Every structure is written in C-alpha cells, then in structure tokens.
C-alpha cells in the first residue's frame, strides 16, 4: 500500500527527547574532508509524504548537505559539516517524528509483521462476518431483521476499526496534528465517514449501511501493506545477512607477541590479526604470514575456494577454511568492504530517481485533489438532487476509490524487487536512479586491466623454469608487493623456503639479495644481468641472475575475466556500442581488443583524457556506461551517464561507481542492464495501471454508480495488482563454475619492466 510499515530497527534506550548534539557528534561517522554522517532511527515514517517532509526540513538546517530517508529500514541518513551536529532530533520531534540513534546490531523479532498479521486476521474475521450479515440484508430481510443485522454489523466493526484501523488512524492523526498530509489521511477519513454514516442509518432504521465497506477496505489495505512489508523485509534480510558475515571481534597480535581479543569496532588499520581456521576475516586486510584456502562465496559469489598466501588481499566476510593466517588490517570495520556493501544495499531504495520524483510529486498533489474531488462531488449531488444521504454516499465512494495507494507503490516496490534480484546475483546498486540510467545506455566503454582482464598477471612459463631457480626467485619476490612478484610467489606454491643474508628492493629495477657471498638479482634484464647463460641468449623482461649471469627468464600474461567474450557479445546483440579505453601500451591494448573483437579502442589514455572523452560522447547525445576499476578510472566513472566497477576496484573507484559487482564474471554488466530495463518497463506499467485505474474508476464513482463497498474492493485490488506486477521481475541467474573460473588466457606483447 502507500505506506510502508515500520522496519525492525531498534532505538537505543534514550528518553523521548532523544540524544543531545554532543551524543550525535560522538555517534556520527567521519567521511573525511570535514564531512560527517549521522544515522537516526525514525519509526513513525510511513510514506512518500513523510519522506518529503523529513528531507525538506532537515535539508534547510545550517550545515546539512544531504538528508535521505530509507523507507524499509526507517533510517534517516544525514550528511553535515561543522563543529557540532545540527539540531536534527529537535527538528524531527517538531515534525512529529521522534528520532533516536540507529542501532544496526540490535536483534529483535519483527514486531511490525506480527502486528500486521494480527490486524489482517481481525479485519478479515470481521469483514467475513459482516459480509454474511450483509448478504442476508441484500436477500430481502424485513425491517426488524435488517435493523438487527445492521446493529450486529456495527458492533462487529467497532473492534475491527479500533484494532486493525489504528495503523491508519494514528498515522493520519500524527500528520494532521503537525500540519501535514499523508496517504493515510484519505483512508482514515473514508473509513470514518463510511462507518459514521452507516451508524446513523442504523439508528434511524435506514435501508442502507456500509459497515462491510469500512471493514473490507481495512482488510484489503492491510493485505497490501503486509505484502509490501514482506518484500521490503526480504531485501533488508539480505542486508542483515551480509552484515552478519563479520565477526564480533578479532584476536590482535601485539608487537611484543602478546594477544588481545578486541571488539570489531576497536580494530584499526595496521593491527595484525590472527584468524584461525573456521573463522571469518573480520576487516579488510592482507596476509602477512601463513597460507590457506578461503571460501569467498558469501562475499563474491565464487563457489570454488580461493588460495590465500602472503600478500593476498582479503575482504571482510571471507571464511578461512584450512590454516591459521596472520592478517594486517587495512581498514576499520566501519570502512571495510562489508560495511560499504551494506550501505550501498540500503541506499538502493532511497535514491531520488526520476520515476520516484514523479511519483512523489503526484502523491503530494493527490491528497488535496482527492479531498477536493470528494467535496465537489458532494456539493454537486446536493445541488442536483437535494438528497444529502445519496450525496454523502457517493462522496465517500469517491474518497475511497481515489486513494493514491497504487501510485505510491508504483516505483518503490519495483526498485525493492530489482535491488533484491541484483543482490542475489552478486550486484550492488546504489539507488534507483542508477537502474533508470542503466536502462537508457546505448554505448559502453571498458577499461582493460582489472576490468576485462583479471588485473593480476600470472607466470606463463612455469613449466620451462628450473624448480630451484623458481624457489630462489619466489623467496626474493616475497619481499615485494609488485604484481609480478606476487605472480612468481603464487607460481612457486609451497616450495622449500630459501634463506638470504640480506634482501633489498631497488625502486624501478627489482630485488637484490645476498646468500653465502653470492649476489642474486630479480628484475629488469638490463639491471640484473651482465652475461646471459647459453640457454638464455635473449634474456629480457624479468630475469633472475646469479652474480650477473642470467639463470631464468620469466614471462607473464594477462587473463580475461570469466564471461568477457559472452558478455560483450550479448551487449553487441542489443545494439550497444563497445569501446576499450586503457592507459596501457598500444600493443597490449590491441591484443585484448582483437581477442574480444572490439573495433574501437584507445591506448595510453590519461585519467583526465578518459573523463574528457566521455564528456565529448555525452555532448553528442550518447548515453555511456563506463566500466572500470582503478584509481585512474574514478573521474571517468563519475563523468559517465552510469558506471560500474568490480568489487576488486580501488576504494575511490567503488565509491564513484553506481553499480559494484562482486563476482569475477563480467556477465554482471549485461545482467544489470537486463534487470534495469525490465524494472523500467514494470515501473511504466505500474504508472499506467494506477493512472488507468483512476481514469476509469473516478468518473464512474462521481456518476454515482459505485457503492463504498465496491470502491473499497476496487481501490485495494489496484494496489495488489501493482505489487503483483512488480513480482513479475525475473532474472537469469549468473553461474560461475569451476571450469569457467579457470579464465581464458590472453598473451599480450612482451613485457618491458618488472620488479
């Protein structure tokens, strides 16, 4: 229905006045550059009118840059600047929305759903019994029997209205008492008038009463509201499940070797954590000691366990399967990957999308228009017939049948379902406007490294390298975090460790080490060697040398992301133009473009040039999707019509992107397009259904051909149809099996530098 029942968040045990400004400041999260975010729980928010009132009032406060309301979680997120927090709570209290600090860790039963189910049961029981009595009246009961049945109906309706109807009455009263209107006002007014007129008719032994209409209206409205709540709660359950992947704390290994178990909130970047087998990674970090297998399925959707060795980057929520790991934290819990994904998922419903803005404006006009229409209908029928009873009955029918519930649900219910479908397939979306923009694209620009390719090079000639040489190279490479060094370490696997007397990394050249008076070098050929070995006459790229003599040469290769060829083929089949744009060299970029059959590509492009190119495409009327992952892609991601990044992207890249896909499979890109286009079609269908219903029903009601009972049923059915239409959103499931995960290989031009 038009209003969403409160979520299951729990307010902290504060007094009615709410937290002070100092408490708000302490509870706020710093976003950097003097910007803060405060999250408040506002249980009484119900509908689009509530959202608009809250966002408008908070947006007027000094220092507030943005205020957003999430209807599913009943959360208000406010971003502000200043020495102290603005008067957020006082402003909300003045509006009639008591606010408290939002507690994401509270675990409670879903009281709202239980309340809605009880209300549906009471209203359904009352409606069924009153309907049976009404059938007897319609069948021709005489005057005394008819009056008895009307009185029985009135008595049955009283507890139904008091218990089941208080959800609407309390919301409407709260709005009116603070000088506002919401979508519950016409509902409460229509029910009250229908019951009052029916009671008057019963008292004077009139022939018609509409107790069945009043109670049936509540019954159908509550069914729709319960369905709406369940759909939103399903999405929120996914968010909560994601948040619960993080443990409550972690074992911290101090510099002196001592260990302390600290709560997750106290973990700071730079701390070293001991993660035992069977435990989840608590925060983002990388392995500094140990090797193990990781279950990444709940974070990235990959079903095949991933190997973790020294230097492997870890995401919060991954499950350590085999051996203990010592991990160095790179982010606090509130800034970790899981926390970012939770925030993105919660934001998916709260965006100020174009369709939602249209619905909000329509809903804002709807309540006064509904009441004015009902009033004019009453005045018109009084003037035409002089029969106030008939005029009142028709006006009540108009008031009920024009309730804007279906219009209020047209956009958010589709966005909730679409966000859930994307989440199930490992795709996070920031807000509904991103889906709308994704549905409009006609051109896609892809970055190469880390986007179309995995970004991490692998050693291509492991089988041609002497195992002893590879072990030495791996022991040296373990002291560097260069991608080539990581590839050598990964290729060596569990080879016997080699001890050196000294190891030093020479910036721009490579690594040099000494062992028993022997000098070893791993890196650029022109730096590492002075004489080549007989079987390495053309040693180049990355080589291992002993006392200036080349021992081994290493060749690296890039690998395409799983599903890259199929994903691009799908996009081309839909008429989407494709372009490859990278900062890499011409030969390497051309090799990937040829492998993927991309006709348009640009190489050696600077970050500023990427953004400028997208701006030029936009001026030509092209709506561009940018898919990239690196720090250098952030300006282009922000400049594009819509953007997408893998979860492995740099933090700034993920923040700039509208979508983030968690799986390795780049098939997430056409899948997001598919879901977005389907969601757009369903939203337009819902608008058409809501508007068409009113264009058809309102004139009939004004003409006096609809009773309050028929109006109640028609209005409720229109909302149920909108919900059912949103549920039609289906998604093809992305599958990444072990064979696909092996990734196809692409061998670009010879490499010129190494560590």
DSSP 750: P
**Alpha carbon distances (Å) from 168 to 46, 165, 175, 197, 219:** 10, 6, 11, 19, 12
Using CA atoms, how far apart are residues 342 and 240, in angstroms rounded to an integer? 8
CB within 8 A of 76, min separation 6: which ones?
Answer: 39, 40, 41, 42, 45, 54, 58, 67, 68, 69, 70, 88, 92, 99
Choose the catalytic residue: 447, 629, 658, 665. 447
| Residue given tokens 């297998």 in the structure block | 293
The H-or-E segment that residue 81 falls in is strand 75-81
Distance CA 179, CA 356 (A): 24
* Residue bearing tokens 């569990």: 494
704 burial type by CB count under 10 A (0-12 exposed, 13-18 middle, 19+ buried): middle
Verify whether residue 665 is a known catalytic residue: no
Q: What's the token pair of residue 126? A: 């009352």
Give, for 54, the enclosing helix (H) or strand (E). Answer: helix 48-59
Residue 560 DSSP symbol: B
Beta strands in 560-666 (DSSP E): 577-581, 600-602, 624-627, 642-646, 659-661
Longest dimension (CA), the chain: 117
Alpha helix segments (H runs only) across 466-506: 467-477, 483-492
Q: In what order do the strands lie in the sheet with 518-524?
A: 502-506, 510-515, 518-524, 542-546, 549-554
CB 709 within 8 A of CB 213: yes
Cα-Cα-Cα-Cα torsion 99, 104, 105, 108, nearest 10 degrees, comes to 60
Rounded to whole angstroms, the Cα distance separating 326 from 545 reads 32
313: left (phi over 0), alpha (psi -120 to 50) or beta: beta
> What does the alpha-carbon distance between residue 403 and residue 392 come to, in Å, rounded to a whole number?
17
In whole angstroms, what is the distance from residue 473 CA to residue 492 CA?
9
User: Which residues are designated catalytic?
Assistant: 447
């Amino acid at each position: 229905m038009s209003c969403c029942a409160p979520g299951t968040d729990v307010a902290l045990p504060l007094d009615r006045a709410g937290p002070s400004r100092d408490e708000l400041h302490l509870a706020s999260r710093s976003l950097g550059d003097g910007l803060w975010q405060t999250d408040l729980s506002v249980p009484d928010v119900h509908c689009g009118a509530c959202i608009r009132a809250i966002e408008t009032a908070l947006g007027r406060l000094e220092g507030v840059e943005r205020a957003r309301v999430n209807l599913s979680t009943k959360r208000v997120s406010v971003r502000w600047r200043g020495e102290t927090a603005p008067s957020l709570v006082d402003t909300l209290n003045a509006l009639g929305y008591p606010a408290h600090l939002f507690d994401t860790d509270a675990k409670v039963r879903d009281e709202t759903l239980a309340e809605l189910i009880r209300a549906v049961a009471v209203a359904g029981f009352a409606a069924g019994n009153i309907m049976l009595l009404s059938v007897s009246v319609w069948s021709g009961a005489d005057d005394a029997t008819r009056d008895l049945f009307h009185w029985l109906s009135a008595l049955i309706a009283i507890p139904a209205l008091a218990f089941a109807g208080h959800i609407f009455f309390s919301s409407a009263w709260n709005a009116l008492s603070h000088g506002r209107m919401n979508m519950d006002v016409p509902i409460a007014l229509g029910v009250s008038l229908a019951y009052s007129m029916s009671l008057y008719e019963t008292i004077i032994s009139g022939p018609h009463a509409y107790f069945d209409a009043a109670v049936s209206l509540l019954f159908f409205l509550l069914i729709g509201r319960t369905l709406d709540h369940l759909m939103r709660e399903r999405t929120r359950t996914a968010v909560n499940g994601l948040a619960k992947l993080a443990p409550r704390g972690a074992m911290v290994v101090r510099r002196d070797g001592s260990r302390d178990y600290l709560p997750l909130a106290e973990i700071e970047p730079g701390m070293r954590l001991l993660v035992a087998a069977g435990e989840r990674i608590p925060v983002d970090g990388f392995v500094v000691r140990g090797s193990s297998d990781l279950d990444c399925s709940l974070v990235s959707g990959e079903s095949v366990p991933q190997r973790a060795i020294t230097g492997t980057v870890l995401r919060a929520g991954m499950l350590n399967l085999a051996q203990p790991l010592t991990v160095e934290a790179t982010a606090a819990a509130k800034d970790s990957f899981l926390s970012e994904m939770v925030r993105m998922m919660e934001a998916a419903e709260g965006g100020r999308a174009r369709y939602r803005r249209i619905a909000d404006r329509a809903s804002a006009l709807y309540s006064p228009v509904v009441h004015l229409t009902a009033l004019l209908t009453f005045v018109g029928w009084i003037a035409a017939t002089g029969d106030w009873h008939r005029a009142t009955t028709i006006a009540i029918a108009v008031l009920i049948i024009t309730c804007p519930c279906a219009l209020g649900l047209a956009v958010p219910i589709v966005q909730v379902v679409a966000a859930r479908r994307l989440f199930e397939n490992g795709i996070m979306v920031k807000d509904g406007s991103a889906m709308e923009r994704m549905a409009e694209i006609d051109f896609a620009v892809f970055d190469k490294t880390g986007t179309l390719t995995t970004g991490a090079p692998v050693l291509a000639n492991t089988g041609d390298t002497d195992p002893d040489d590879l072990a030495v190279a791996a022991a040296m490479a373990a002291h560097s975090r260069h991608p080539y060094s990581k590839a050598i370490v990964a290729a060596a696997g569990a080879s016997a460790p080699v001890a050196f007397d000294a190891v030093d990394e020479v910036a721009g050249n490579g690594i040099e080490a000494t062992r028993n008076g022997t000098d070893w070098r791993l890196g650029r050929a022109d730096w590492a060697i002075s004489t080549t070995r007989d079987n390495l006459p053309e040693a180049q790229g990355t080589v291992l040398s002993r006392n200036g003599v080349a021992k081994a040469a290493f060749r690296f290769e890039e690998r395409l992301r799983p599903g890259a060829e199929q994903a691009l083929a799908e996009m081309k089949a839909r008429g989407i133009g494709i372009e490859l744009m990278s900062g890499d060299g011409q030969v390497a970029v051309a090799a990937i473009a040829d492998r993927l059959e991309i006709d348009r590509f640009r190489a050696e492009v600077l970050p500023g040039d990427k953004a400028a190119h997208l701006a030029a495409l936009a001026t030509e009327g092209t709506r561009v999707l940018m898919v990239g992952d690196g720090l250098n892609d952030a300006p282009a991601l922000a400049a594009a019509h819509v953007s997408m990044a893998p979860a492995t992207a740099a933090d700034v890249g993920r923040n700039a992107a509208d979508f983030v896909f968690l799986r390795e499979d780049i098939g997430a890109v056409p899948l997001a397009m598919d879901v977005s286009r389907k969601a757009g079609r369903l939203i337009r269908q819902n608008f058409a259904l809501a508007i068409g219903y009113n264009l058809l029903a309102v004139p009939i009601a004004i003409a006096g051909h609809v009773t309050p009972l028929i109006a109640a049923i028609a209005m409720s059915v229109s909302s149920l149809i909108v919900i059912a239409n949103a549920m039609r959103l289906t998604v093809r499931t992305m599958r990444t099996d072990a064979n696909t995960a092996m990734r196809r290989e692409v061998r670009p031009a010879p490499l010129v530098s190494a560590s």
